[in-house]
Structure 1
Amino acid sequence: MIAIVTPEEMRAVDAAAGEAPDVLIGRAGSAVARAAVRMMGGTYGRTVQVIVGKGNNGADGRVAAQRLAAQGVRVQLYEAHACPTALPPADLVIDAAYGTGFRGTWRPPAVGDTPVLAVDVPSGVDALTGEALGDVLAATRTVTFAALKPGLLIPPGSDLAGALELAPIGLEAQASARAHAHLVQHAGVALWVPCRDTAAHKWRAAVRIIAGSTGMTGAARLAAHAAMRAGAGMVHLSAPGTLVAQAPAEGVQRPLPTKGWAPEVLDTLDRFHSLVVGPGLGRDDDTAAQARMLAVEAPIPTVIDGDGLFAMAWNADGAAALLRRRTTPTVLTPHDGEYTLLTGAAPATDRLVAARRLAADTGCVVLLKGPATVVADPHGAALVVTTGDARLATAGTGDVLSGIIGALLAAGVPAL
């Protein structure tokens, strides 16, 4: 996993660095120059426009300009505060105007179709939240240093940053030590998933799913199929008041009455290792009451999704007070609308803070869905996932996610 640090944490890393600032600036500027050469495909006959500010970003840009000029590149420097409204044609523009500490706005020049290489963060992007602070010169590529910044991973900042390149400058260990968030990578996920041992049997990773309702059985079907595909040895599925057509052939359907079903489910959880409650369950008063009873009293790791989250929010004491009564690992999977139901307010622009706050209030692991999904635990540790795309903005993907998480919890994977 790759460390993610806030601008404040990065400033602390810089302040505690055991090397002179000029040394670190030299390394950063050299990394920018190398990225520039790669983007241009060489140096011969190339022209680069470099926009520089007064801070460390500008210093990085000046070093990059020196390195490129030494390799024969034609380089033109422009001060950010006196930059023309349009730059002449070039092979590359380097945006070294403003960095992670920038809080104002600026008016970037027009660059036409010239590729842009941003230094640390595109000028005008909030490195904490990803918000655009006025006009931003959209980058083709961004070179950032020592650790990733949240604003490079969260839209619109992630879109404005283009391709990300993390360059080492000698502060990686210090940044990693201060980081409380990390970017998830494929290799890391592969290490989390346990292998079945030779003595495994179907009841080693059993998942109980309470999902679906009349007219909403697709959610239950998707969750059950996902749990089976994600490695559950046994899946028992119940949709109160109805049966689910085309449920997994390997699974078991256990009928439940339309009302008053929670005690029956609680009495049959002894052989199961996780519970999924909520996808397509419905929102009538009795269903919500049964979902609350089940979620609070279930003695096994539990995923609460969809209508289960609505049920948690729809009570006089509030979701946090209810969920803090749970004694086993719990994963909440809200999108922004469900987050608003649970807390009474939309997620903050700092989505890491938003997820951490709900996790701390509820004592649960919170998976806050979005273009960059944030997963946070009650103690402040967080993971960010950026591998999803617009295909996930499709009905049913959340149901699949809940089934996958249920299977992983059943296999013994920690909630975070």
Structure 2
Amino acid sequence: MRTAYSVETVRAAERELMARLAEGALMQRAAAGLAAACADLLGRVYGSRVVLLVGSGDNGGDALYAGARLARRGAGVTAVLLAPERTHGAGLAALRGAGGTVAGSGAAEELILRADLVVDGIVGIGGKGGLRPEAVPLAGYAADSRAAVVAVDLPSGIEADTGEVLGTAVRADLTVTFGTHKPGLLIDPGREYAGSVRLVDIGLELPEEAELEALQHADVAVRLPVPGAESDKYRRGVVGIAAGSARYPGAAVLAVSGALRGGAGAVRYVGPAADAVISRFPETLVSDQGPARAGRVQAWVVGPGVGDDASAVAQVLEADVSVLVDADGLRLADRSAVRARTAPTLMTPHAGEAAALLGVSRESVEAARLASARELALRYGATVLLKGSTTLVADPQGGAVRVNPTGTAWLATAGSGDVLSGLAGSLLAAGLSALDAGSVGAYLHGLAGRLAADGAPLGAHDVAAAIPEAWRDIRDALR
């Protein structure tokens, strides 16, 4: 499992480690890792042209020491100093001693446009509010150049704790981060600016509780439900689907398609789209008696395509089982009824739905995804899966937020969310917690989307059909 920690936690760990090390040793560790990553990216160091963008902080020092290592291997290294009077002195001396040169910002454009590699050491994880005016042109030159851009610890201009971009920021091809991931490297829009991320171990001792978690194949594999020799369809769990309407029967079909592939033993469908569901999935148990009289289930999914059927939403919320609320269900659900529930509740809004629930603009949710997911979980006393380019799953108890690392932009297609709802709801019925059902469901869904798309457009039904392949791919991680 990948973890990310806040700036405050990282700074505390760095102070503790530096107290035990010789002066400058921690920066040398970071610089060695940075130089190695730059060399790997260049391929051939000797004769390459490297430009360091150096600010006044420790990131500038890391860049200078790494530049010195590259210069000793034959690279032509030039440091552009944004604050010459506050540049890291020892790092600058090391660069000059290795044959590197120094230039002012006036020469930056020509140097960057001719470079093979640009190292962004402008500001570090403590930077706030985007790049300062004097650094903005440098980010533009780097974006316009043919050079590969490597960010030191975090692209300059990204908010380390949130991934927000509150002004101009550097766009990196590779970010070399030290000690641990920072939340801003895993959450959009910051993740988009970071490019590939390479973690360099510098010996930090970090607390067990992280700010952010990202599951990997092995983490998901141990959470997937597996039937035993004594299992039957009821012991494996039954998931109820209250979805669809005369106008949106497809939402019911897609939610059921996800549920059938999510690990539960049986799927009950309740709603006006029974004929469409049965014609596509004859194994589904259907009822026209409403959720309260549909029969026993271990979890409910309510909302996809239900239109204005508030009674179905209300009945599901009264059930003493785990409940997933999506789409129209989010609009129709009474907040006090959600908060009053004692069984687990998983809400799965996209940014627009989250904005409506929070009473803010969609843009503000997309710009501050982590804060929005946490606030929704707190307000509703429910686990919240905030869908989007980076899907986040926040627990109402305020623990580590999970960020989903799988997916593809091709998943932005009608009905994709309905498949995810059915899939996650089935995992709830199979016995997973709301946090695990949301994060495992998102992981499977994202991986299935990648496999189904393979670089081409897809439909929601293609995502559902690829879930078994994604499941097997993950299970192989245990072998």
Q: Same fold (TM over 0.5)?
A: yes
Equivalence for 1:158 = 191
Equivalence for 1:305 = 326
Q: Secondary structure at the match of 2:239?
A: strand
Structure 1 position 98, deviation (Å): 0.8
CA distance in 2, matches of 1:193, 1:92: 43
- Work out whether 1:345 is the aligned partner of 2:360: yes
- Work out whether 1:107 is the aligned partner of 2:136: yes
Equivalence for 1:293 = 315
Equivalence for 1:201 = 232
Q: Secondary structure at the match of 2:193?
A: helix
CA distance in 2, matches of 1:353, 1:135: 21
Structure 1 position 10, deviation (Å): 2.1
Structure 1 position 118, deviation (Å): 0.7
Letter in 1 for 2:280: A
* Kept after mapping to 1: 8 A contact 2:288/2:294: no
Equivalence for 2:117 = 92
Equivalence for 1:227 = 259
Equivalence for 2:2 = 2
Letter in 1 for 2:368: D
* Kept after mapping to 2: 8 A contact 1:275/1:302: yes
Change beyond 3 A, Cα 1:356–1:169: same
Equivalence for 1:213 = 245
CA distance in 2, matches of 1:227, 1:241: 16
Equivalence for 2:218 = 187
Letter in 2 for 1:30: A
- Work out whether 1:64 is the aligned partner of 2:66: yes
Change beyond 3 A, Cα 1:350–1:15: farther
What's the RMSD between the two structures over aligned residues?
A: 1.9
Q: Secondary structure at the match of 1:275?
A: strand
CA distance in 1, matches of 2:34, 2:312: 58
1:375-398: CA deviation from partner (whole Å, max 9, x where unpaired):
011111210013222112111011
CA distance in 1, matches of 2:351, 2:175: 28
1:299-345: CA deviation from partner (whole Å, max 9, x where unpaired):
11111111111111xx5xxx2x2211111111000111211232222
Structure 1 position 354, deviation (Å): 1.7
CA distance in 2, matches of 1:355, 1:156: 15
CA distance in 1, matches of 2:27, 2:52: 16
Q: How does 1:330-369 map to 2 (within 5 A)?
A: 330-346=345-361, 348=365, 349-369=367-387
Letter in 1 for 2:310: A
Structure 1 position 178, deviation (Å): 4.8
CA distance in 1, matches of 2:254, 2:20: 54
CA distance in 2, matches of 1:203, 1:10: 47
* Kept after mapping to 2: 8 A contact 1:4/1:149: yes
CA distance in 2, matches of 1:83, 1:10: 31
* Kept after mapping to 2: 8 A contact 1:333/1:366: yes
CA distance in 1, matches of 2:24, 2:153: 16
Equivalence for 1:125 = 158
1:171-205: CA deviation from partner (whole Å, max 9, x where unpaired):
1x41x535132122222111211211111111122
Runs (5+) with no aligned partner, structure 1: none
Letter in 2 for 1:405: A
Q: Secondary structure at the match of 2:222?
A: helix
Structure 1 position 39, deviation (Å): 0.4
Between 101-110 and 386-395, the greater mean CA deviation after superposition: 101-110
CA distance in 2, matches of 1:100, 1:345: 28
How many residue pairs match? The answer is 396
CA distance in 1, matches of 2:251, 2:273: 15
Letter in 2 for 1:392: L
Select 2:301's aligned residue among 276, 279, 284.
Answer: 276
Equivalence for 1:374 = 392
CA distance in 1, matches of 2:136, 2:434: 45
Q: Secondary structure at the match of 2:177?
A: strand
CA distance in 2, matches of 1:122, 1:180: 19
Change beyond 3 A, Cα 1:251–1:300: same
- Work out whether 1:395 is the aligned partner of 2:397: no
Q: Secondary structure at the match of 1:177?
A: coil
Equivalence for 1:250 = 283
* Kept after mapping to 2: 8 A contact 1:130/1:150: yes
- Work out whether 1:404 is the aligned partner of 2:423: yes
CA distance in 2, matches of 1:289, 1:16: 57
* Kept after mapping to 1: 8 A contact 2:249/2:273: no
Q: Percent identity?
A: 40
Q: Secondary structure at the match of 1:226?
A: helix
Change beyond 3 A, Cα 1:303–1:224: same
Letter in 1 for 2:153: D
Change beyond 3 A, Cα 1:187–1:282: same
CA distance in 2, matches of 1:299, 1:392: 33
Q: Secondary structure at the match of 2:219?
A: helix
Letter in 2 for 1:100: I
- Work out whether 1:148 is the aligned partner of 2:177: no
CA distance in 2, matches of 1:242, 1:253: 6
Change beyond 3 A, Cα 1:291–1:54: same
Equivalence for 2:268 = 236
CA distance in 2, matches of 1:243, 1:341: 33
CA distance in 2, matches of 1:334, 1:57: 38
Structure 1 position 242, deviation (Å): 5.8
* Kept after mapping to 1: 8 A contact 2:225/2:263: no
* Kept after mapping to 2: 8 A contact 1:277/1:303: yes
1:201-226: CA deviation from partner (whole Å, max 9, x where unpaired):
11122111111110211111111111
Between 156-165 and 216-225, the greater mean CA deviation after superposition: 156-165
Structure 1 position 73, deviation (Å): 2.1
Question: Larger helix proportion, structure 1 or 2?
Answer: 2
1:126-153: CA deviation from partner (whole Å, max 9, x where unpaired):
2233333433332111111122122222
Letter in 1 for 2:117: L
Equivalence for 1:13 = 13
* Kept after mapping to 2: 8 A contact 1:224/1:247: no
1:14-47: CA deviation from partner (whole Å, max 9, x where unpaired):
2333444622211111111000100011322222
Structure 1 position 352, deviation (Å): 1.9
